[in-house]
């Protein structure tokens, strides 16, 4: 598999360099990287293109780690590595993923940032302190529909396809719109963030064509997908080269270390997004 992947990837890079002005940052000098903050908060950086998933939340439910105050302050202030963020993605509106007031404050402070979020996030933000009508132009709201959604941001430097995957927990959580985002940065690195996606498989079969449509370099599934399915089935279902589990509780489940799979467990951990360029 690897030589084929490397060849396909280098062809992609060559054609992108010839045709796409968005591909401003050389791949080899500037490999894409994922940085872990806490819970499901991840920064993805590819050259000068940067996105955040589920970065602003305030409720640990006494179970999940919060972003530490210094990191949160740097994020709100736009200090490195949180300078030049292009877009923030929210998977769903639970308090361990999203805080409407903090998001309002963030958008007020960072006037170029685009927010991609479920419609429930917009409803919450409009009710929360700090809302401004001027934010509307920077919101890319995902409707609560079954069909896959596509978005292009930052002049094509960020390509998004998203599907609604129900929240884990069954009927009790069915009213929550949980989005699974697949995002390609600078045409070079593709990541997937699934929020609190259910491990029940029928919805993944329903969206098989969506998952097959593009290979993901690294997916960040909630750890319970790996627990339920195992690593190989998780990679196969998501069509991902590599997976790193997220959303670990402070007390990690005992089976975790036995899976032999990769997880983000501590703030500051990073993972490369270029398995094909390591050859
Ligand atoms: Zn949730």
**Structural domains of the chain ordered from first start:** 2-278 (3.60.15.10)
Residue 9 has pLDDT above 80, yes or no: no
pLDDT for the residue 31: 79
pLDDT higher than threshold 60 for residue 208: yes
Q: Which of 275, 273, 269, 220 is nearest to 35 (CA)?
A: 269
In the predicted structure, residue 279 carries a pLDDT above the cut 80: no
Residue range 186-203, pLDDT digits in tens: 998 999 999 999 999 999
- Model confidence at 12: pLDDT above 70: no
Q: pLDDT tens across 236-254, in order?
A: 999 999 999 999 999 989 9
| Ligand 1 mean position, distance from CA 18 (Å) | 42
pLDDT on residue 10: 40
How far, in Å, from the CA of 94 to the mean position of ligand 1? 5
With b meaning 16 or more CB within 10 Å and e meaning fewer, what string describes 207-223? beebbeeebbbbbbbbb
pLDDT, mean of residues 265-272: 96
In the reported structure, the alpha carbon of residue 197 is separated from the centroid of ligand 1 by a whole-number distance in angstroms of 8
Residues with CB under 5 A from ligand 1 (ion): 94, 196
Q: How far is the CA of 59 from the centre of ligand 1 (A)?
A: 11
Q: What is the mean pLDDT of the chain?
A: 90
* pLDDT at residue 45 is higher than 60: yes
Distance between CA atoms of 254 and 257, rounded to whole angstroms? 7
Percentage of the chain exceeding pLDDT 70 = 87
Q: How far is the CA of 169 from the centre of ligand 1 (A)?
A: 9
pLDDT for residue 185 is more than 90: yes
- 100: which residues sit within 8 A by CB, 6+ positions away? 93, 121, 124, 125, 127, 128
Cα–ligand 1 centroid distance for 155 (angstroms)? 31
**16 CA to centre of ligand 1 in angstroms:** 37
Average pLDDT over residues 93-115: 98
How many angstroms separate the alpha carbon of residue 238 from the centre of ligand 1? 20
pLDDT of residue 276: 53
Give the neighbor-by-neighbor strand order of the sheet with 158-164. Answer: 149-153, 158-164, 179-185, 189-193, 216-220, 240-243
Q: 65 alpha carbon to ligand 1 midpoint, in Å?
A: 14
Given a cut of 70, is residue 152 above it in pLDDT? yes
Q: 3 CA to middle of ligand 1, Å?
A: 39
């Amino acid at each position: 598999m690897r030589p084929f992947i490397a060849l396909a990837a280098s062809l992609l890079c060559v054609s992108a360099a010839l045709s796409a002005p968005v591909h401003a940052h050389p791949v080899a000098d500037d490999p894409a990287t994922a940085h872990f903050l806490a819970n499901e908060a991840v920064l993805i950086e590819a050259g000068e293109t940067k996105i955040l998933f589920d970065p602003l939340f305030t409720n640990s439910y006494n179970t999940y780690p919060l972003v530490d105050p210094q990191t949160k302050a740097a994020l709100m202030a736009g200090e490195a590595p949180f300078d030049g963020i292009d877009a923030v993605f929210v998977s769903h509106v639970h308090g361990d993923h999203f805080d409407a007031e903090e998001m309002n404050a963030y958008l007020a402070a960072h006037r170029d940032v685009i927010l991609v979020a479920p419609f429930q996030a917009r409803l919450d933000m409009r009710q929360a302190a700090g809302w401004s009508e001027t934010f509307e132009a920077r919101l890319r709201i995902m409707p609560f529909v079954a069909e896959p959604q596509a978005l292009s941001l930052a002049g094509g430097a960020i390509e998004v396809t998203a599907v609604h995957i129900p929240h884990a927990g069954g009927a009790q959580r069915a009213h929550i719109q949980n989005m699974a985002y697949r995002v390609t940065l600078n045409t070079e690195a593709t990541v997937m963030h699934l929020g609190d996606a259910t491990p029940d498989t029928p919805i993944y079969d329903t969206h098989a064509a969506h998952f097959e449509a593009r290979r993901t370099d690294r997916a960040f599934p909630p750890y319970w997908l790996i627990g339920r399915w195992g690593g190989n089935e998780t990679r196969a279902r998501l069509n991902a080269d590599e997976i790193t589990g997220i959303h670990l509780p402070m007390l990690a489940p005992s089976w975790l270390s036995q899976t032999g799979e990769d997880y983000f467990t501590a703030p500051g951990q990073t993972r490369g997004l270029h398995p094909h360029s390591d050859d």
